[in-house]
């Protein structure tokens, strides 16, 4: 699928600074980074389709301490900006947690230790065609000794001590596909934005448009071909999804050009590919953009 268009002129944007908000985001990011550094999860996306009835997830504790992890299903949705938010369990929808069972639900892993989580699909008779999705959450639990009330009571002190222990989590989508599903994908609303005038850093902003009863998932590759020259890869992002609850989502691709390379007088070629495939075997959508 090709979409011939001209790129919008680069625009400059002012960054708003709200100290409290940035502090909160920074704190949350540090918590999530800690969780990701402690628990390795593979794969990070589960899809049941065809006659597949079982899957497994491999966990590895790559931290320096023993970790305890609670595993549970949560229901989440994607925002038009690509964020993932938790939704109330009572909100109607097509969820996979109603038909997927898993074990174990609580694991304790010593440093370097691994664990397999097994998932089993049990579809109900008469399940309607469509795509069902819930998210499997892996929550890092605090050390039980850190909240031992008896130990705190034994310490002779007249001072009040409060210890905040964050419980962080990583979630991955678990998707069940029933019946013949399809998705048509196109790319639009291209714009180059300069994010750092000193370092001359830019991003390519675009929209991923999806139609049909199936989500889309792929990798982006951005090539630039200067007039009379050879194409150069200047952007690459893997694992980008648009779920069935959205018809489109915004996405930014950071552009990395070689030193002295001018992003002008040429052509951008944006490709959205099936993971692990190339433009010949797994092209989902593409666009060619003229850069003045």
pLDDT band for 199, please (50, 70, 90 cuts).
low
Looking at the domain assignment, is residue 154 inside a domain? no
- Residues in a beta bridge with 141: 68
> Nearest Cα to 283, choosing from 272, 268, 270?
272
Six token digits for residue 114: 């691994």
User: Is the confidence at residue 142, as pLDDT, over 50?
Assistant: yes
CATH, residue 275: 2.60.40.10
| Model confidence pLDDT, tens digit, residues 223-235 | 999 999 999 999 9
User: What would the two tokens of residue 273 be?
Assistant: 């590919």
Q: What is the pLDDT of residue 211?
A: 97
Which segment of 15-29, 109-123, 252-266 scores lowest on mean pLDDT?
Answer: 15-29
Q: What is the pLDDT of residue 17?
A: 34
* 265 occurs within a structural domain: yes
Percentage above 70 pLDDT, the chain: 77
Give pLDDT, residue 29: 37
Structural domain containing residue 278: 4-14+181-291
> Per-residue pLDDT tens for 57-76?
999 999 899 999 999 999 99
Do 125 and 221 reside in the same domain of the chain? no
What distance in Å separates the CA atoms of residue 122 and residue 101, rounded to the nearest whole number? Answer: 8
DSSP state of 147: G
Residues 138 and 218 in one domain: no
Residue 150 main-chain phi, psi, to 5 deg: -65, -35
Predicted pLDDT of residue 225: 95
Distance CA 2, CA 272 (A): 11
Which of 110, 124, 21, 99 is closest to 68 using CA atoms?
110
| Lowest mean per-residue pLDDT among 7-11, 128-132, 158-162, 187-191 | 7-11
**The pLDDT of residue 82 is above 80:** yes
Q: Is the bond preceding 43 in cis, omega lying within 30 degrees of 0? A: yes
> Which residue is associated with the tokens 């959450």?
137
Type and span of the H or E element at 150: helix 149-154
Stretch among 18-32, 157-171, 172-186, 200-214 having the lowest mean pLDDT: 18-32
Asked if pLDDT for residue 252 goes beyond 60, the answer is yes
Contact 208, 251 (CB under 8 A): yes
| Between residues 292 and 159, the one the model is more confident about | 292
Are 237 and 262 part of one and the same domain?
Answer: yes
Q: For residue 135, report the phi and psi dihedrals to the nearest 5 degrees.
A: -120, 135
Torsion, Cα of 228, 257, 268, 221 (10° steps): 120
In a domain, 153, yes or no: no
What is the Cα–Cα distance from 170 to 176, expressed in whole angstroms? 20
Task: For residue 111, give the DSSP letter.
Answer: T
Bridge partners of 40, per DSSP, are 60
Question: pLDDT, tens digit, for every residue of 84-127?
Answer: 999 988 899 999 999 999 999 999 999 999 999 999 999 988 99
pLDDT band at 172 (very low <50, low <70, confident <90, very high): very high
Q: What is the DSSP letter of 281?
A: T
The residue among 245 and 10 whose pLDDT is bigger is 245
Q: pLDDT value at position 258?
A: 82
Q: Predicted confidence band at 259 (pLDDT cuts at 50, 70, 90)?
A: confident
Domain count, the chain: 2
Rounded-to-integer distance, Cα 60 and Cα 38, Å:
8
200 domain residue, yes or no? yes
| 3-state secondary structure at position 217 | strand
Please check whether residues 42 and 124 belong to one and the same domain: yes
Give domain status of residue 150, yes or no. Answer: no
Is there a single domain that holds both residue 124 and residue 8? no
Residue 92 sits in the same domain as residue 225:
no
pLDDT given at position 194: 82
Report percent pLDDT > 90 for the chain.
67
Find out whether 249 and 215 touch, Cβ atoms under 8 Å. Answer: no
pLDDT of residue 244: 96
Q: How many other C-beta atoms lie within 10 A of the C-beta of residue 271?
A: 20
Q: Which pLDDT does position 154 carry in this prediction? A: 56
Instruction: Assess whether pLDDT exceeds 50 at residue 287.
Output: yes
């Amino acid at each position: 699928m090709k979409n011939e268009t001209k790129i919008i002129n680069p625009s400059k944007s002012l960054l708003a600074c709200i100290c409290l908000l940035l502090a909160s985001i920074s704190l949350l990011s540090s918590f999530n980074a800690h969780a990701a550094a402690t628990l390795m999860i593979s794969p990070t996306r589960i899809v049941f389709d065809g006659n597949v009835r079982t899957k497994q997830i491999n966990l590895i504790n790559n931290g320096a301490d023993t970790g305890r992890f609670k595993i549970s299903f949560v229901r989440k949705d994607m925002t038009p900006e690509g964020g993932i938010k938790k939704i109330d369990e009572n909100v109607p929808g097509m969820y996979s947690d109603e038909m997927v069972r898993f074990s174990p639900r609580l694991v304790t892993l010593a440093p370097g230790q691994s664990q397999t989580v097994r998932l089993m699909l049990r579809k109900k008779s008469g399940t309607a065609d469509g795509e069902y999705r819930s998210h499997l959450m892996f929550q890092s639990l605090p050390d039980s000794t850190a909240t031992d009330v008896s130990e705190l009571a034994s310490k002779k002190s007249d001072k009040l001590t409060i210890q905040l222990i964050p419980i962080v989590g990583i979630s991955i989508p678990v998707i069940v596909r029933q019946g013949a599903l399809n998705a048509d994908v196109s790319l639009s609303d291209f714009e180059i934005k300069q994010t750092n005038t000193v370092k001359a850093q830019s991003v390519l902003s675009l929209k991923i448009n999806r139609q049909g009863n199936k989500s889309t998932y792929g990798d982006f590759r951005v090539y630039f071909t200067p007039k009379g020259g050879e194409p150069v890869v200047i952007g690459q992002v893997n694992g980008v999804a648009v779920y069935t609850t959205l018809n489109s989502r915004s996405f930014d691709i950071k552009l990395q050009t070689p030193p002295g390379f001018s992003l002008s007088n040429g052509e951008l070629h944006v490709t959205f590919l099936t993971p692990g495939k190339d433009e010949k075997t797994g092209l989902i959508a593409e666009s060619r953009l003229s850069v003045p």
